[in-house]
Amino acid sequence: MEVKNNTTKGGFSKAWDLVPGGKQFDVRVEIMEKCDWSSRQTFYNKLSGRYPVTNPELMVLKNILEPYNIDPETGEYIKQLV
């Protein structure tokens, strides 16, 4: 049984890999606060696809990752870097 909108089949996980290592802690904290995820386990369950990311959560991810030029749905850069 396929879960609907589960970060579009690994997009969140791929996007997370594109977040600069020095920024990952701050970005994770911001995502957890704005999505109201109370534990790191919830974050990693959403990241791995074990729990689906809801549409409101996806909008939060888009807003947070946009300054880094990252699309959380596809796990790719929004604009290709030159």
For 27-82, the pLDDT digits (tens) are: 999 999 999 999 999 999 999 999 999 999 999 999 999 999 999 999 999 987 66
Q: Judge contact between 34 and 43, C-beta under 8 A.
A: no
Partnered with residue 77 across adjacent β-strands are 70
Q: Is 68 exposed, middle or buried (0-12, 13-18, 19+ CB in 10 A)?
A: middle
Report the alpha-carbon distance of residue 48 to residue 42 in Å, rounded: 10
- Overall pTM > 0.95: no
- Residue 78 resides in a domain: no
- Looking at the structure of the chain, the number of domains it has is 1
- Structural domain including 16 reads 7-70
- Residue 77 resides in a domain: no
